[in-house]
Amino acid sequence: MSCDKQQIVIYRTNSGMVVTAPTLPDKEVLQSIARVVAESYAAELIDRFWAYFVGRSVDLREEYEKYYAPEYATIPQFLYQKYAIAPRYIKTLEPLIARGDFVGLVKKTWGRDWQMESLLDYCETGLATLMKAVNASFAEVSDEN
């Protein structure tokens, strides 16, 4: 199974975590790619990562198209005015939005997972380190049965 084109990127914004990926990753696919042993601690971490950063993400494109398109001219304008996402993040997100990637939002007020947040805060590059590990698992190609 190869998912080398899949990459999850998380941006910390003042509104919460913005999660992007070419497609919304399925939990079972993420577990398979990470090759974790069922019911192991690593499997629990993958489950919690998916639940916290993917499962709770609100699809911002869907929300915009369903509720806010008449009010805001573009998705970037919606992100800026509705969620106060900083222009520097919006500039980064614009090509992903144009390409049709999944762009989701997880607000901290929607519940917390202290272990996931601790992983992010572990060091200055905590988020980058976590994402590098997750994306490395996506990049690996396994021919094993």
| pLDDT confidence tier of residue 3, bands split at 50, 70 and 90 | very low
Distance from C-alpha of 67 to C-alpha of 11, rounded to nearest angstrom: 24
Question: How many domains does the structure of the chain reveal?
Answer: 1
Question: Does residue 4 form part of some domain?
Answer: no
- Is residue 3 in some structural domain? no
Question: Which residue carries 């080398």 as its tokens?
Answer: 4
- The whole-number pLDDT of residue 12 equals 79
Write the pLDDT tens digit of every residue in 28-71.
877 777 777 788 887 888 888 888 888 888 999 999 999 999 99
Structural domain span for residue 28: 9-139
CB atoms within 10 A of CB 119: 19
Task: Name beta bridge partners: 10.
Answer: 19
Quick check: 80 pLDDT over 70? yes
For 87, the token pair is 């222009």
Residue 144 within any structural domain of the chain: no
Tell me, yes or no, whether 128 lies in a domain: yes
Element (H, E) at 122: none
Q: What is the mean pLDDT of residues 118-140?
A: 55
Q: Which among 14-18, 22-26, 46-50, 79-83 has the top mean pLDDT?
A: 79-83
The residue among 56, 74, 48 whose CA lies nearest residue 17 is: 56
Within 22-65, strands assigned E span: 58-59
- The pLDDT confidence band at residue 143, using thresholds 50, 70 and 90, is very low
